């Protein structure tokens, strides 16, 4: 024990310098930790802005659940849109109308041919022939702008108008 005391008394200045160096190093590390802590505190304040004391984890879970619900509803809407697009392709999109006099002694263009077609040119052409004593109506299927039945000139014109998007 006496040897230790002798060594301490002989190297007192070195020990003090070593302790001062360790203290200075500790102080520098402490200041760096304080600076880093201040940066983290600023980031935390930015992150917590507008939260007003609410549990941030709970808010994040709520947002995640809401996002999940929105994505689920979006999938449903995409399916519905696909169904509507398919239905729209098969619905009447093109209409062509031709009014005419079926008989020379009749006026007023009371007869007509109307073509109702979908986007592929499929549908029906309906003709009404108006006479003095009666009116007759005919319907003929149309596939790709053509019919398996013989078409009148007015029916062909109605189909052509529908195909061009004219009325």
- The domain ranges of the chain are 1-47, 62-91, 94-164
- Residue 93, CA distances (Å) to 54, 57, 81, 125, 147 in order: 55, 52, 17, 14, 18
Task: Give the pLDDT band of residue 59 (cuts 50, 70, 90).
Answer: confident
Give the chain's largest Cα–Cα span. Answer: 146
Give φ, ψ of 91 to 5 degrees: -90, 165
The encoded tokens of residue 81 equal 């849109």
Give the model confidence (pLDDT) of 99-137 as tens digits. Answer: 998 888 777 888 999 999 998 999 999 999 998 888 999
Give the model confidence (pLDDT) of 138-164 as tens digits. Answer: 999 999 999 999 999 999 999 999 999
């Amino acid at each position: 024990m006496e040897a230790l005391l002798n060594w301490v008394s002989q190297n007192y200045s070195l020990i003090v310098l070593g302790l001062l160096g360790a203290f200075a190093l500790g102080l520098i590390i402490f200041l760096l930790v304080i600076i880093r802590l201040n940066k983290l505190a600023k980031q935390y304040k930015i992150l917590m802005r507008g939260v007003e004391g609410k549990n941030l984890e709970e808010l994040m879970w709520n947002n995640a659940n809401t996002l999940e619900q929105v994505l689920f509803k979006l999938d449903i809407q995409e399916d519905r849109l696909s169904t509507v697009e398919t239905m729209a392709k098969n619905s009447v999109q093109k209409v062509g109308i031709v009014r005419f006099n079926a008989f020379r002694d009749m006026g007023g263009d009371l007869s007509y041919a109307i073509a109702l077609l979908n986007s592929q040119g499929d549908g029906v052409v309906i003709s009404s022939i108006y006479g003095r004593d009666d009116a007759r109506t005919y319907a003929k299927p149309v596939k790709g702008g053509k019919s398996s039945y013989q078409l009148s000139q007015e029916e062909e014109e109605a189909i052509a108008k529908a195909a061009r998007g004219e009325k």
